[in-house]
Amino acid sequence: MQEPVKAIFTECIQTQIASADLLQEPLMRAAELLVDSLLHGQKIYCCGESMAHASARHFAHIMLTGLQFERPPFPVNALHADYGANEHETIFAQQILAAGQPNDLLVVLNAGNQAPRISRAMEAAVSRDMLIIALTNEADQDVAGLLGPDDVEIRVPSRNTARVSEHLLQLVNMLCSLAEQQIFPQEDNP
């Protein structure tokens, strides 16, 4: 029984190593975009497709409450996923259309192949002249094609939904940590 467990750990480690090489530059660009939005008083919205929705909610929580130290809250809102809504696929888009303003930021997360709800949210964000940070994966078929030249994609180098989900959580923690370090450098304790 130990071999399957070791195989999972090995796959996790391999994804980590590949990510460390591939994701540094897009992660830093995303952090810069996030910090710029925060410093200019823009609102930040986040949502995730399917399993990634929990990571989006976690991101909003740590951006509001702080990750590494006590600080003022950052204006980040997790979009509500009302599964009882009549238009399930447009639930995030409706919220963006209702509240999104030019230069606000939408952070989307997708651990799977398709992302109809966040694709619609991205289309709504584009119509509102908002910027987008997309955390995706190698299997993503919907999100990358909706990004503009000023948007940022962080593409996890895996097609395994479980490995991608694990990595999305790590990436949102890293984005929050980088934002805190840049906005409050006096609090940075290595």
CA 168 to chain centre: 7
Backbone phi, psi, residue 74, to 5° = -90, 140
The total of other beta-carbon atoms located within 10 Å of residue 50's CB is 18
pTM over 0.95: no
Token reading at 100: 């999104």
Class of domain 2-184: alpha beta
Domain residue ranges of the chain, discontinuous segments joined by +: 2-184
* pLDDT tens readout for residues 49-84: 988 999 999 999 999 999 989 999 999 999 987 765
Q: What is the DSSP letter of 96?
A: H
pLDDT (tens digit per residue) in 94-129: 999 999 999 999 999 999 888 999 999 999 999 999
